[in-house]
Each structure stands twice: as C-alpha cells, then as structure tokens.
Amino acid sequence: MIEEPTTPRTDFFLKLASEADMPTVLAAFYRQDTKTEVDDETGEETVINVGDPYLVQYTKDYALDVVGVIHRPTGVILTDADGNEYPEQAPLDGWHVNVRLVTDAMREVVEALDVTHGLVPTTPARLWA
C-alpha cells in the first residue's frame, strides 16, 4: 500500500501565560530598527538600536493573529437593566496568538513554539478566513 503524503500544518494556536510574555516567547517575530553611525575620526561604523522592538504581524511568510484573552460562557444567564438576557462570560487563562504559515521559512520556529505553547482547541475562538 502506498501512503499519501501528509500536508504540513499551516495553522497553529498558541497560549502564552500573559501578554507580557510576547516579546520573549515570540522573539522571532519582533524586529528592531537600527541606524549606522560613523565615527568622524576613525571611520569606524557602529550599529545603534532605534526605538523599541515591535511585533511584525504579517510578512510573505506568515501571519499572526493576536487574539488575547478569550472569554467563554459560564452557563449563567444574566439580565441587563432593560430586561434583556445574555450569557455571563468568564476569561480563560492565558494570552492567545494564532499563527498561519504561508511558506516554510518560519516552520521550525513555529513548530518549536507549538511544542511548548501549542493548543489543539476543540472549538477555536477565532479562525482564519
């Protein structure tokens, strides 16, 4: 029997402890602007960081969807001042980020993140269209 090749995953669901963990955990997706200064006397070039590092949410290779805190119904129905009923929502633990790979350029990085921070949600809160 000939096995059909499997298609590599393109969508990953990550859960971080908090938003503050993003620069560390997702460091491969952050960039730092720089400028080069030249010493007038020696001609020596020095590269200097400019501004703060920033998250690059999409390139030709990937897209990041920062979902943040996800809320789910608790099963309790509340009533507002106008008598309208609505489900009570409670936050789930963690800070959630979805990754879609467009090419394989970041595959090793994302698959390593999937091992340490990946989820397989039964009902994802947000999907790629």
In the chain, domain spans: 11-22+56-119
* Distance of alpha carbon 125 from the chain centroid: 14
pLDDT of residue 27: 97
- Across the range 64-80, mean pLDDT stands at 96
* pLDDT bracket for residue 104 (50, 70, 90): very high
pLDDT for 4 equals 73
Residue 10 has what pLDDT?
A: 96
Query: Cα–Cα distance between 98 and 116 in angstroms, integer?
Result: 14
Sequence-distant (6+) residues with CB within 8 A of 128 are 11, 63, 65, 98, 100
Q: In the predicted model, what is the mean pLDDT of the chain?
A: 94
pLDDT of residue 7: 87
